[in-house]
């Protein structure tokens, strides 16, 4: 944490509302630990859930702007609460802080837009009979996606020295999405403390006896194979001891 931020830390308890829709916003917030949810007026379902390292309260950057979300604490939190005047002074004196704020706010708005699009595209509920068929089809699909038992391949994640065996013909690598509940096949949330890796960052596919790495659409901070950045959607063959880098996290492929 920047030393200049420490004096602004405020503790909030679970279920506490930091501010509500319509409140005049004059402060900017950075989550040091804990989690909060952003909700629209009259809607109990959160628009997005954010945690350590995330920002909110950007309305304060516009003089006299009222809050567009209600912010509720869902896990006891220590939050850096910075008055607009102090934040403006920091931004003027420290360009890296300004860039970090811009990057994090962009990430949050991408989460919000992604969640909104998922809600809009959600199909109408199916009948119980149709639902049973769907579950059966999904289970069959899962079975058909398993690798042959004689194929052994592993990922060694450098930061934690964790070893993950590949068991499916299509394996997605990324970070857990707390908003939608989506978890990738290889969950790198704990290793990616800086939160630079995308929710669905890259894919390892097993096709015709070979493994291939490709970057997923929407990935922001890059996928690298042996130091070379990959173009989105283009498959590259993986060989034993190849080094995969997702943004900053190194992973060794073993086969």
Would you mind telling me the total number of residues written for the chain in this entry?
255
pTM of the shown model: 0.47
What pLDDT was estimated at residue 89?
80
What pLDDT was estimated at residue 93?
77
Percent residues over pLDDT 90 in the chain: 45
Grouping H, G, I as helix, E, B as strand and the rest as coil, residue 236 is strand
What pLDDT was estimated at residue 42?
73
What pLDDT was estimated at residue 23?
87
Indicate the average pLDDT of the chain.
Answer: 82
Q: How many other β-carbons are positioned within 10 Å of the β-carbon of residue 179?
A: 19
| Greater pLDDT, 212 or 23 | 212
Residue 2 clears pLDDT 60, i.e. is over it: no
Q: How many other β-carbons are positioned within 10 Å of the β-carbon of residue 182?
A: 14
For 125-140, what is the mean pLDDT? 44
Q: Where are the alpha helices (DSSP H) in 196-249?
A: none
Q: 85 near 41, Cβ under 8 Å?
A: no
Grouping H, G, I as helix, E, B as strand and the rest as coil, residue 133 is helix
Cα–Cα distance, 106 to 87 (Å, whole number):
18
At 134, the pLDDT band (50, 70, 90 cuts) reads very low
Residue 145 clears pLDDT 70, i.e. is over it: yes
Distance of CA 219 to the CA centre of its chain: 11
Dihedral over Cα of 91, 92, 96, 99: its sign:
positive
At 34, the pLDDT band (50, 70, 90 cuts) reads very high
For 149-175, what is the mean pLDDT? 94
What pLDDT was estimated at residue 57?
83
pLDDT single digits (tens) 174-194: 998 877 778 999 999 999 988
pLDDT single digits (tens) 62-71: 666 788 889 9
| Greater pLDDT, 179 or 83 | 83
What pLDDT was estimated at residue 138?
44
225 forms bridges with which residues in the sheet?
A: 228, 244
| Greater pLDDT, 42 or 218 | 218
Domains in the chain, start-ordered, CATH in brackets? 3-117 (2.60.120.10), 141-254 (2.60.200.20)
Write the DSSP symbol of residue 231. Answer: P
């Amino acid at each position: 944490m920047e030393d200049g931020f420490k004096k602004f830390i405020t503790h909030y308890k679970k279920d506490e509302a930091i501010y509500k829709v319509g409140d005049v916003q004059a402060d900017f917030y950075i989550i040091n630990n804990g989690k909060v949810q952003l909700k629209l007026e009259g809607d109990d379902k959160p628009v997005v859930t954010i945690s350590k390292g995330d920002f909110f309260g950007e309305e304060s950057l516009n003089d006299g702007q009222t809050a567009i979300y209600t912010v509720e604490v869902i896990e006891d939190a220590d939050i850096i609460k910075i008055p607009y005047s102090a934040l403006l002074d920091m931004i003027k004196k420290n360009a890296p802080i300004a860039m970090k704020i811009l990057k994090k706010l962009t990430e949050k708005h991408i989460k919000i837009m992604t969640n909104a699009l998922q809600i809009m595209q959600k199909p109408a509920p199916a009948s119980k009979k149709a639902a049973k068929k769907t579950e059966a089809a999904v289970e069959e699909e899962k079975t058909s996606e398993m690798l042959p038992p004689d194929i052994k391949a592993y990922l060694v994640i450098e930061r934690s020295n964790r070893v993950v065996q590949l068991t499916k013909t299509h394996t997605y690598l990324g970070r857990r999405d707390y908003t939608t509940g989506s978890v990738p096949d290889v969950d790198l949330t704990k290793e990616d403390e800086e939160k630079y890796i995308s929710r669905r960052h890259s894919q390892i596919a097993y096709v015709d006896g070979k493994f291939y790495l490709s970057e997923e659409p929407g990935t922001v901070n890059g996928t690298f194979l042996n130091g070379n950045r990959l173009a989105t959607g283009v498959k590259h063959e993986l060989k034993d001891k190849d080094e995969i880098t997702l943004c900053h996290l190194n992973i060794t492929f073993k086969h």
